[in-house]
Homo-oligomer: A and B are copies of this chain.
Amino acid sequence: MDGIWMIDAAKECRPEYVKGSSYLPPRGEREGLRTAEDGQASVQGFVHRIRPMGGVVFVVVRTGRALIQCVWDGELPDGLCEGACVDARGVVVEDARALDGFELKATSIEVLSRPAAPSPVPLGRRRLEASLEVLLDVRPISLRHPKERAVWKTEEAMLAAYRTYMSANGFTEIKTPKIVSAGVEGGANVFKLDYFGRPACLAQSPQSYKQMMVGVYGRVYETAPVYRAENHNTTRHLNEYIGLDFEMGFIRGFEDIMKMEAGMLRHMMATVADVCRYEIDLLEAVVPEVGKIPVIKFREAKELLSEKYGIKNRGADLSPEEEVHLGQYMKETYGSDFVFVTHYPAGKRPFYTREDPADPGFTCSFDLLFRGLEITTGGQRIHDYDRQVEKMRSRGLDPADFESYLMMHKYGMPPHGGLGIGLERIAVQLLGMHNIRHASLFPRDTGRVDP
Output the least CB separation between A181 and chain B (Å). 4
Q: Is the interface of A mostly helix, strand, loop or mixed?
A: mixed
Selected interface stretch from A167-175, A314-322, A369-377: A167-175
- Mark each residue of chain A from 238 to 276: 1 if its CB lies under 8 Å from any CB of chain B, else 0: 011010000001100001001110111111000000000
Q: Check if A164 is an interface residue, CB within 8 A of chain B.
A: yes
Q: Is the CB of B192 within 8 A of A194?
A: yes
Q: Check if A97 is an interface residue, CB within 8 A of chain B.
A: no
Q: Is the CB of B411 within 8 A of A83?
A: yes
Q: Is the CB of B413 within 8 A of A85?
A: yes
Q: Which residue of B lies closest to A208 (CB)?
A: B451
Chain B contacts for A266, CB-based, 8 A? 9-10, 12-13
Chain B contacts for A239, CB-based, 8 A? 179
- Mark each residue of chain A from 77 to 88: 1 if its CB lies under 8 Å from any CB of chain B, else 0: 000000111010
Beyond contacts A120-B411, A178-B225: 13 other A-B pairs, Cβ-Cβ < 8 A, are A1-B300, A9-B263, A149-B216, A153-B217, A160-B163, A176-B441, A178-B178, A181-B450, A184-B450, A191-B195, A209-B442, A224-B224, A405-B451
Name A residues whose Cβ lies closer than 8 Å to a Cβ of B. Answer: 1-10, 12-14, 17-23, 25, 32, 44-46, 63-65, 83-85, 87, 112-120, 138-141, 143-144, 149, 152-153, 156, 159-160, 163-165, 167-170, 172-181, 183-184, 191-196, 198, 200, 202, 208-209, 212-213, 215-219, 224-225, 227, 229, 231, 239-240, 242, 249-250, 255, 258-260, 262-267, 290-297, 300, 304, 334, 340, 383-386, 404-405, 407-415, 441-442, 444, 446-447, 449-451
